[in-house]
Structure 1
Amino acid sequence: MKHLLNQWQMLMENRNRFFWLLQAGGWIGYALVNYIGSLMHEMRDIYTLIIILGAYAGFLLTVPLRYFYRRIWEMAPPLMVLIAIVASYVISVLWAIIDNATYWEIYKFGFRPDSPFFYLKNSLAKFYIILSWSGLYFGIKYYQMLQEEKQKALLASSMAHQAQLKMLRYQLNPHFLFNTLNAISTLILIKDSDKANKMVNKLSRFLRFSLDNDPIKKVPLEKEIDALLLYLDIEKVRFDEQLEVTINLEEETKQALVPSLICQPLIENSIKYAIAQVEGVGKISIQSKKVNDDLEITICDNGPQLESDPNKLFRKEGVGLNNTQQRLQSLYGKHFIFNMSKNEGSGLCVTIVIPFETLEKV
């Protein structure tokens, strides 16, 4: 069914092919209806030829209307409608003349009634048919135009959405790079080349992960944690190993898909506003679990005691937290939870709840 809908959509987009398909199908249908109608009366077999020729004449006469209507498409609607009615009447008269001439010459063997108006017989009925053809043409063309504008709007919206996601993902805090390079420089000055080399390698791998992964696509949670560990290993050098990281992932959540580097701004926020202010060992814990059809990720630190509602940090400390929330909103709409609460003892806990997805389900 989906395949048929896709083929129909492709056919609709090819306007020229779609026109000829409808044009041929419509006039074949007209011929069939007339043929079925003729079966109700005693008509000679030759009448079938009359029906075919009449449908063929209608087919040929309406083709120029298509190109004529293209030329008047940009006119004011009232004037365009008036011209379309006049054009339909002219075509219907020509069709009636051809149709009646064919009837009298072939079916009546050249016999003609006394009145010269016999050629205009049924012209009013044919006018209604041509007018209906014109109405269908304008209706379908207008519908195609609306669909085209809708697709353009959707494409523009999609491009803007992708640009926003990329902007949010690439807002890496320059302080992190500055502090890391500073730490590497210090290690070089004290001639601790081994540690400096390890730090450069970890920074290189972290930045490679950041650049290689499309911010619009998602990565397995296990891969996301690997990138976080690279980041945390870099930070451990700055804190002289006075940074303790605990990771506890439920096995079934390791392959769950998450936005790449969605947790990095939260870890960075913990280090900047919590761990850096702690005397002794700074602790960060990362946990994940599956709750019904959702993935829940919780990041906690043992920073200073919070005196007010943690959610006020959105306004106070801004970029990292707001960045994360905006990315989640762009990716999941209303189907996510981003909550901050006080950690037991001291510090902050950030909880993210998103739909549980794996590569098999996507």
Structure 2
Amino acid sequence: MYKSLEDRSRQFWILHSLGWFGFAIVNYLNSLVLETRDAYLIVVALDSYLGWLITIPLRYTYQRIWHWSPWKLALTVLLMAFVLAAIWTAVRNFNYWEIYRHGARPDDWLKYIRDTPFAFYVMLSWSGLYFGIKYYQTLQLEKQKSLTATNKAHEAQLKMLRYQLNPHFLFNTLNAISTLVLINEADTANKMVTRLSDFLRYSLYKDPINKVPLEQEVYAARLYLEIEKVRFSERLSVAFDLEPGTEKALVPSLILQPLIENAIKYAVASQVDGGEIAITAKRFGHDLLLEVADNGPGMSISDGLPKSSDSGVGLVNTKERLSALYDNNFALVLTHNQPRGLKVNIRIPLQLEKTEQEHA
């Protein structure tokens, strides 16, 4: 039903028919007030049918002159409305004299066109409604095209941001695998290749437009950290603290990975003794709070953001993605960790994954 109403041609025939049907009802009710005979119903029906029929050519004429200049278009509409009004009036009065007056003839033939001003008004009203509806449909179509183009650009931006995998990560991982092969650590190298494959499969096949449950993001984070653990061994310590019930919370895919990558780069790789990364998730009212904290040297912060651009593209990338997905309903803030280090806090609306039972 909805698709049928979206068809513009079908819309015309429905509105065209309803309009003339309404005209017939109003005319017949008016005849009852004037206490005319029942035969007038036939006259009203014929008048409305003729009006329905005679205005159809207007549609195809207006389609052809749609792009004419305004003054030329207005003159053509006035001329067409007047000509059709005169024809319609003459036939209406002929029906009136032949059917309602049983073949009597008026003394003056001008009586056949006595209602032309009224008919002209009806034709102009029909034309005004046609152009008004057509302009509205055109504006809606342009608006829909604009929204579609905006959405496509929005999706392209999100995909570009999401697929900015750090080439240094791949380079370091492949180097680590090569080193493991050279020192005959084939089993460890094989595990690392498997985890890298799983992580890349996850990152490439998850649509950046759709959100995923937090538990899937934690799974991807663990894959990434297991790869890095092979490189840093005991120098990298990881702790997860997920509040019960947050596992099904929907988050942007790979939203944690660039934050963890930054923590490894600035808090683990830069220190001889390595460092610890803590990933936390909890609910706060109608929001989900995510936190990635480290015990590294930290950095200078101003108004919740790093003072310099030395933090890399990870934070900028993450903020742009959150802005594209949640507009202004999010927060990304950097704070100092205690006793040392950096914390990255994200607040997004809490949206829970719907289970199969809820769908049913």
TM-score of the aligned structures, taking structure 1 as reference length: 0.95
Q: 1: CA distance between counterparts of 2:240 and 2:206?
A: 23
Q: Is the 8 A contact 2:281 2:290 kept in 1?
A: yes
Q: Identify the residue that residue 324 of structure 1 maps to in structure 2.
A: 318
* Partner SS for 1:112: coil
Task: Give the 3 Å change call, closer, same or farther, for CA 291–84 of structure 1 in structure 2.
Answer: same
Match of 1:91 among 84, 87, 107: 84
Q: 2: CA distance between counterparts of 1:314 and 1:226?
A: 32
Q: Identify the residue that residue 168 of structure 1 maps to in structure 2.
A: 161
* Partner SS for 1:287: strand
Matched, 1:258 2:251: yes
Q: Is the 8 A contact 1:284 1:302 kept in 2?
A: yes
Q: Could you tell me which amino acid in structure 1 is paired with residue 196 of structure 2?
A: L
Q: Identify the residue that residue 69 of structure 1 maps to in structure 2.
A: 62
Q: Identify the residue that residue 202 of structure 1 maps to in structure 2.
A: 195
Q: 2: CA distance between counterparts of 1:140 and 1:285?
A: 60
Q: Is the 8 A contact 1:165 1:330 kept in 2?
A: yes
Q: Any idea what the Cα deviations from partners look like across 1:169-193, whole Å, max 9, x if unmatched? A: 0000011000000000000011110
Match of 1:241 among 209, 234, 246: 234
Q: Identify the residue that residue 269 of structure 2 maps to in structure 1.
A: 276
What RMSD, in angstroms, separates the aligned Cα atoms of the two structures? 1.5
Q: 2: CA distance between counterparts of 1:339 and 1:133?
A: 60
- Measure how far apart 1:22 and its partner are: 0.7
Q: 1: CA distance between counterparts of 2:147 and 2:48?
A: 41
Q: Identify the residue that residue 31 of structure 1 maps to in structure 2.
A: 24
- Measure how far apart 1:42 and its partner are: 2.8
Q: Could you tell me which amino acid in structure 2 is paired with residue 43 of structure 1?
A: T
Q: Is the 8 A contact 2:238 2:276 kept in 1?
A: yes
- Measure how far apart 1:214 and its partner are: 0.6
Matches within 5 A, 1:39-188: 39-188=32-181
- Measure how far apart 1:88 and its partner are: 0.6
Task: Give the 3 Å change call, closer, same or farther, for CA 188–227 of structure 1 in structure 2.
Answer: same
Q: 2: CA distance between counterparts of 1:26 and 1:57?
A: 13
- Measure how far apart 1:279 and its partner are: 2.3
Q: 2: CA distance between counterparts of 1:249 and 1:26?
A: 62
Q: Identify the residue that residue 18 of structure 1 maps to in structure 2.
A: 11
- Measure how far apart 1:114 and its partner are: 2.1
Q: 2: CA distance between counterparts of 1:325 and 1:333?
A: 11
Q: Any idea what the Cα deviations from partners look like across 1:271-307, whole Å, max 9, x if unmatched? A: 1122111121310000111001000011001111435
* Partner SS for 2:53: helix
Task: Give the 3 Å change call, closer, same or farther, for CA 122–43 of structure 1 in structure 2.
Answer: same
Task: Give the 3 Å change call, closer, same or farther, for CA 307–135 of structure 1 in structure 2.
Answer: closer
TM-score of the aligned structures, taking structure 2 as reference length: 0.95
Q: 2: CA distance between counterparts of 1:279 and 1:343?
A: 20
Matched, 1:344 2:338: yes
Q: Identify the residue that residue 289 of structure 2 maps to in structure 1.
A: 296
Q: Which structure 2 residue ranges, 5 or more long, are not aligned?
A: none
Q: Could you tell me which amino acid in structure 2 is paired with residue 211 of structure 1?
A: L
Q: 1: CA distance between counterparts of 2:130 and 2:300?
A: 69
Q: Is the 8 A contact 1:203 1:234 kept in 2?
A: yes
Matched, 1:312 2:342: no
Q: Is the 8 A contact 2:81 2:124 kept in 1?
A: yes
Q: Is the 8 A contact 1:314 1:322 kept in 2?
A: no
Q: 2: CA distance between counterparts of 1:296 and 1:262?
A: 13
Matches within 5 A, 1:222-237: 222-237=215-230
Q: Identify the residue that residue 3 of structure 1 maps to in structure 2.
A: none
State which drifts further: 318-327 or 138-147: 318-327
* Partner SS for 1:111: coil
Q: 2: CA distance between counterparts of 1:288 and 1:42?
A: 79
Task: Give the 3 Å change call, closer, same or farther, for CA 232–50 of structure 1 in structure 2.
Answer: same
Q: What is the percent sequence identity of the aligned residues?
A: 52
Q: 1: CA distance between counterparts of 2:223 and 2:17?
A: 65
Q: 1: CA distance between counterparts of 2:240 and 2:53?
A: 75
Q: 2: CA distance between counterparts of 1:84 and 1:305?
A: 74
